[in-house]
């Protein structure tokens, strides 16, 4: 059976989506989520160019992540109520506009507003992954979603590396401009490739948000997962929001070196299948506790950085 055409309303697929469509969705997820992390290696350059302090410029990635959290809460539920294809295309345009506004920002307040909007619209990735799940039949859903998630992880991994190199060579504004163009190109590809999707709910928007509250009340495991992931995200963001500034101040290193730390994200990708196997044997809570302990050890090691010579600081960070 052929892959659904553009006019098709997808509900219960009987055939796997074409490899080209899966690739388009993987690229879309990767480019959209990368928008969250482009700024982090460039903070030193941004602070210097806009003549602002380290604390103030640290609000750029903070507001980006805040916008992302708000977008997941307030915008992601719309995928149940409306055609996901339309949401994906609309968010692609708005994300590109937000990235373009960041590139043109003349002062820090304008960049902060643009950063918040980038985070809101980068929830485009949270529409693409469910769309992949809907397009795949039950027997191949894990495989298809896994490929799209690979694109998303690559976006997280490579975004800092690319932005660090581009910003050091041509400036941070060029990086935001290129990001806007990449999102527009990705949106154009998905406009041609994606079919239409049937809505799965007739609830109005307030009722959709209310259903989230019902899930929160009824699922204690959900509450624990949200709490633990929120706290881990705080630590994750604190590290990346200050890394580039510290490297610039302590070691005189530029955005390219800060971006190269994104390669460390490969450790997470490589550990994922191992963690999955251990989770099957020991249970997810045990593996989560082990991972949290490893993160704690890593942060504890950073407490000694102020007593170390510069030559020893870089290996410690790695």
Would residue 310 count as lying in a domain? yes
Would residue 148 count as lying in a domain? yes
Task: Enumerate the β-bridge partners of residue 180.
Answer: none
Would residue 1 count as lying in a domain? no
Would residue 3 count as lying in a domain? no
Would residue 175 count as lying in a domain? yes
Cα 97 vs. chain centroid, distance in angstroms?
18
CA-based diameter of the chain, in Å?
A: 65
What token pair was written down for 305?
């950085």
List the CATH number of the domain containing 129. 1.20.1250.20
CA distance 247 to 47: 13
Would residue 102 count as lying in a domain? yes
Would residue 256 count as lying in a domain? yes
Q: What is the pLDDT along the chain (318 residues), one digit of tens a residue?
A: 344 444 455 555 556 788 888 889 989 999 999 999 999 888 888 988 998 887 888 899 889 989 998 998 888 888 888 888 999 999 999 999 999 999 999 899 999 999 999 999 999 988 998 888 888 887 777 678 878 887 888 888 888 888 888 988 899 999 999 999 999 999 999 998 888 888 888 888 888 888 888 888 888 888 888 888 888 888 877 887 777 777 877 777 777 777 777 777 666 666 766 776 777 678 778 888 888 888 888 888 888 877 777 777 778 887
267 lies in which domain range? Answer: 13-317
Condensed to tens digits (0 to 9), the pLDDT of residues 119-167 reads 999 999 889 988 888 888 877 776 788 788 878 888 888 888 888 889 8
CA distance 131 to 194: 9
CA distance 228 to 245: 27
CA distance 76 to 304: 41
Q: What are the backbone dihedrals phi and psi of residue 10, each rounded to the nearest 5 degrees, phi first?
A: -80, 130
Overall pTM > 0.85: no
- 8 A C-beta contact, residue 158 and residue 262: yes
Would residue 97 count as lying in a domain? yes
Handedness of CA 11, 16, 18, 23 (dihedral sign): positive
Q: How many domains does the chain have?
A: 1
């Amino acid at each position: 059976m052929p892959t659904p055409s553009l006019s098709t309303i997808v509900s219960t697929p009987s055939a796997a989506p074409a490899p080209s469509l899966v690739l388009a969705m993987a690229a879309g997820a990767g480019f959209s989520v990368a928008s969250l992390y482009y700024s982090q290696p460039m903070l030193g350059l941004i602070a210097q160019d806009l003549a602002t302090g380290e604390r103030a410029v640290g609000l750029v990635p903070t507001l980006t992540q805040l916008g992302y959290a708000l977008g997941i809460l307030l915008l992601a539920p719309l995928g149940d109520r409306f055609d996901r294809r339309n949401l994906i295309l609309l968010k692609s345009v708005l994300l590109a506009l937000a990235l373009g506004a960041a590139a043109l920002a003349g002062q820090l307040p304008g960049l902060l507003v643009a950063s918040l909007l980038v985070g809101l619209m980068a929830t485009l990735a949270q529409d693409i992954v469910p769309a992949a799940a809907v397009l795949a039949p039950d027997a191949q859903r894990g495989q298809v979603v896994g490929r799209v998630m690979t694109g998303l992880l690559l976006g997280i991994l490579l975004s800092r590396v690319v932005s660090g190199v581009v910003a050091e060579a041509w400036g941070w504004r060029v990086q935001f401009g290129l990001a806007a163009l990449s999102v527009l190109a990705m949106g154009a590809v998905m406009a041609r490739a994606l079919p239409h999707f049937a809505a799965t709910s007739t609830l109005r928007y307030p009722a959709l948000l209310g259903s989230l509250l019902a899930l929160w009340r009824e699922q204690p495991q959900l509450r624990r997962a949200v709490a633990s992931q929120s706290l881990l995200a705080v630590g994750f963001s604190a590290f990346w929001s200050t890394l580039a500034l510290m490297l610039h101040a302590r070691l005189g290193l530029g955005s390219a070196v800060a971006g190269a730390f994104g390669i460390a994200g490969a450790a997470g990708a490589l550990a994922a299948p191992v963690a999955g196997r251990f989770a099957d044997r020991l249970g997810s809570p045990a593996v989560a506790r082990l991972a949290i302990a490893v993160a704690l050890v890593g942060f504890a090691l950073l407490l000694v950085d102020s007593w170390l010579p510069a030559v020893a600081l870089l290996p410690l960070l790695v």
